Structure 1
Amino acid sequence: MNPKHVIVISYDAFSEDNWEMAKSLPNLSKLIKNGAVSTKLRSVYPTLTYTVHTTIVTGVHSDKHGIFHNNPFQPFVEEKNQIWFWYQDAIKVPTLYDLAKKKGLSTAGLLWPVSGKSSIKYNLPEIHALKNENQSLKVLKGGSPLFCLGLELKYGRYRKGIQQPNLDDFTTLCTVDTIKTKKTNLLLIHLIDLDDAKHGFGTDSKEVKEAILRMDIRLGRIMDAIEDAGIKKDTTLFIIGDHSQINVKYKVALNHLLKEKGLIFKEKGEVKWRACLQSTGGAAYLHIKEGDLEAETVAYTVLKDAMQKGDYGIEHIYSREELDSLHVNKSINTMVESKSGYSFVDTLKGPMIIDLEEKDIKYATHGYSPDKENYKCVFVASGPLIKENYFLEDIEMVDIAPTIGKIFGIELKNRDGRVLDEIFR
């Protein structure tokens, strides 16, 4: 293997239902012709961005790497005020970029999740400010200050907060600059436009089609930068969809059911809990106060009754044995999966069931089981090391890190995935 350059583009929410449109576009079609492809990339449970991205760089599931959600559990804190798993110190196993650094290879990251204060040499991490925090200062402290400052001075005027398509246009400009000026061995990029379009307008909207068209233009700019930098013959490019999305008709606030049974209550004006659900969107973790077996029994009965009634969108309640096979964090004994067309929310404000169709609201989300129907992701690998026009069947998200590791001669110990040896020449 020639361990010179690997560029990983996380194409957030790029899934099998987007394939027919995307595969014929000018730039992606070139990568497909010169590479290996799967439209049956199975994600991890739950299919949340930070959980999946940590798997992409570790080759293990969340029961090993520790990033079980985008957010640590913060019951009844409004989502806009919640901290996220922004910093690498939450990851319990070595990452590709850690191992690359030990091998003397250079690394860069652009809005890569869970990479704040990491070993990445040139790092603009995905971090956002909460109330009374300064966004720029927080990013500088979490990333590589001079690198971040330089990109901000050059391209900051193209960004409008997290508004799309401006954010991904900014990230693409930063990517092109980094490829040309740093020529790192490993470059990790996170592009979010498609995911935002699906959340805001549904999976089958014109806005989604427009985002896919924009993404192909961005791919073209990145491919041109690789050529302009003179590194095309030494570069392997990976395009990875991290999860799919499903259109939602009903949002369900299941914590209301636990509140009705006294498992969530107020004490001296403060919300307290014995059992509480933490939504992933398409599923929910059941958290129990340590040692409260009575609360666990009552909560399980409440959820089982709700599933049997059929009004709350519960498709399945996973036991701990089932969660073992899905590699879910050992601290969770019960997890609730929603039916397609439903999603769960944590809030106790408002009604228990919100009919989005009645309100004429288009919305889609993820966080469901990776085994939902038509819910697989897209994988493309292209470059001189990769077979041309090669199609794979079922592959796993945990296979990506070991496969990239092979290019660099890096072995990931205790990995859950395998090396996709079949894609190499």
Structure 2
Amino acid sequence: MTLKTALLTAAVILAPVPALAEPVLFISIDGLRPGDVLEADKRGLKIPNLRRFLKEGAYASAVVGVLPTVTYPSHTTLMTGASPARHGILSNNTFDPKQINQGGWYWYATDVKVPMLWEAASKAGLTTGNIHWPVSVAARGVTWNLPQYWRTGHADDVKLLDALSTPGLRVELEQAVGEPYAQGIDETVESDQNRGKFAVALIDAHRPDFLTVYLTGLDHEQHAKGPGTPEAHAVLEKIDAIVGDLMAAETKAHPDAVIALASDHGFETVDHFLSLPTAFIDAGLITLGKDGKAIASWDAFPWSAGASSAIILARPDDMALAARVKALLERLSTEPVNGIDRVIGKAEIAKMGGNPDAAFYVNMKPGFVTDIFRGAGAPLNGPTPGTTKGMHGYFPGAPNLRSTFLIMGRGVKAGKDLGLIDMRAIAPTLAKIMDTRLLLDAELPALNVSDK
């Protein structure tokens, strides 16, 4: 099935209903592979709430994501319908070769260059809420916002979160839930259970017309133990229970609600790494300071995104520098031990909607990841550390990297298999359900709710 055909197929997702705004609950389960829902029985997974979508709602067989297939760019696409090149969130971490930002992420919605669903819903007169969605600090249009943010895990992070959240919201919901809100740095399933309770409390107290909820424990476990492992399955079953609680609360508050659930990427089992920064240091493209750790200067730098890297040139118009970097990448690619799948240039990067500042983009073979520099004398390649068993970030399109989309509720055609869809089609679909389609600057049109 072609992607164009798949999008047309997806257009029949909703049965004809009057054109009016429906309340929407939008849940994200980071790293949820479509097969874990579609083949749950075969894989021994007990996830009755997620399986409900297959009978009572519509579902994609898989979702083709964006470049790179990592959390923050993908979640911004889910909220805008735009590719990273257009919406501006180009990786998880901001570009920071000298680590001035101390590992800072793209937390701030002010970096997003196109409207997000919260803003579109708000402009349409709807109330909105958010629990922990990526890139949600200072997001326009969020009525009740507990954004995703962390620094160190110190108790002062709570004070910082309060300064970035809707005033008084954390304290109000803590009183309703009866326990402290989870620290942003905590990615365990226990933190998901906590945030699920806070989302239920937010629904009960304020009944937002559009609510986003982000759950991260599955991604955390798949990185540590690998996808498809007993540990990952156990976490997903716990998350399924959270989803059930959210669905029950939402349908109690809004009997006519539409509930959508998506993931940002799939997962690949990994066992080897290539340290591109080490190769660039050895080639004289990165210069270290006297301590052998800090970067003193750079001519070209690999901006890692798990299993791919955008290559940034300090002087983008320096053709000699570009040729030098290209020669290095070609040499690395000829050595099988390095695990490079392919290297693309600016034209293909632009075609894929990837980082417009990248001169090259390196994609790894399945089982391989790119790696940060570990200091002078670090190996160029080798087995991944024992704490890394799963990864994403590869170029989109590979079957194992595809993500999930499920939707059910008022007007949704039950049992509909949408086939393969494009991630950029999800935001305009939700916008149309909420009757906000004219306010969303998406790259794909809204799906046809009238079946015409």
TM-score by shorter chain over 0.5: yes
Of 107, 120, 126, the residue aligned with 1:105 is: 126
* Match of residue 367 from structure 1: 393
Q: Which runs of structure 2 are paired with 1:223-238 in the superposition (5 Å)?
A: 223-229=247-253, 231-232=254-255, 234-238=256-260
Give unmatched runs, 5+ long, in structure 1.
none
1:271 and 1:423 map into 2 onto residues whose CA distance is: 59
TM-score w.r.t. the length of structure 2 is: 0.87
The separation in 1 between residues aligned to 2:252 and 2:432, in whole angstroms, is 26
Letter in 1 for 2:40: M
Which of 61, 68, 75 is equivalent to 2:97? 75
Tell me, what secondary structure is at the counterpart of 2:303?
strand
Cα distance per residue 1:317-356 (max 9 Å; x no partner): 0111111210112211210000000000121423221313
Residue in 2 that maps onto 1:8: 26
Are residues 1:28 and 2:57 paired?
A: no
The 1:78–1:314 alpha-carbon spacing in structure 2 relative to 1, beyond 3 Å, is farther
Gaps of 5+ in 2: 1-18
Q: Is structure 2 residue 148 aligned with structure 1 residue 126?
A: yes
Q: Which amino acid aligns with 1:83?
A: G
Offset of residue 219 of structure 1: 1.4
Q: Would you say the 8 A contact 1:123–1:143 is kept in 2?
A: yes
Q: Distance in 1 between the 2:156 and 2:306 partners?
A: 28
In 2 relative to 1, CA 361–169 (structure 1 residues): closer, same or farther, beyond 3 Å? closer
Opposite residue 298 of structure 2, the aligned amino acid is W
CA distance in 2, matches of 1:76, 1:365: 24
1:198-226, Cα deviation, whole Å (9 max, x unpaired): 01100121111101111111111112212
Segment of structure 1 superposing worse, 368-377 or 245-254: 368-377
2:104 aligned counterpart, secondary structure: coil
User: Match for 2:312 among 287, 292, 295?
Assistant: 287
Preserved contact between residue 53 and residue 59 of structure 2 (Cα < 8 Å)? no
In structure 2, the partner of 1:332 is 358
Contact 2:107/2:134, CA 8 A, preserved across alignment: yes
Shift of the 4–392 alpha-carbon distance from structure 1 to 2, 3 Å rule, reads: closer
Question: Does 1:170 find its partner at 2:170?
Answer: no
Paired with 1:363 and 1:54, the residues of 2 have a C-alpha distance of: 26
The TM-score, its normalising length taken from structure 1, stands at 0.93
Shift of 1:293: 3.1
Match 1:354 to one of 382, 388, 391: 382
Distance verdict in 2 for CA 1:267–1:214, change over 3 Å: closer
Tell me, what secondary structure is at the counterpart of 2:301? strand
- 2:209 is aligned with what amino acid? N
Give the CA deviation at 1:424.
6.7
Shift in CA distance, 348/318, structure 1 to aligned 2, threshold 3 Å: same
Q: Is 1:343 equivalent to 2:369 in the alignment?
A: yes
Deviates more, 1:142-151 or 1:388-397: 142-151
| Backbone CA RMSD of aligned residues | 2.3
Instruction: Give percent identity, aligned residues only.
Output: 26
Match of 1:115 among 136, 139, 147: 136
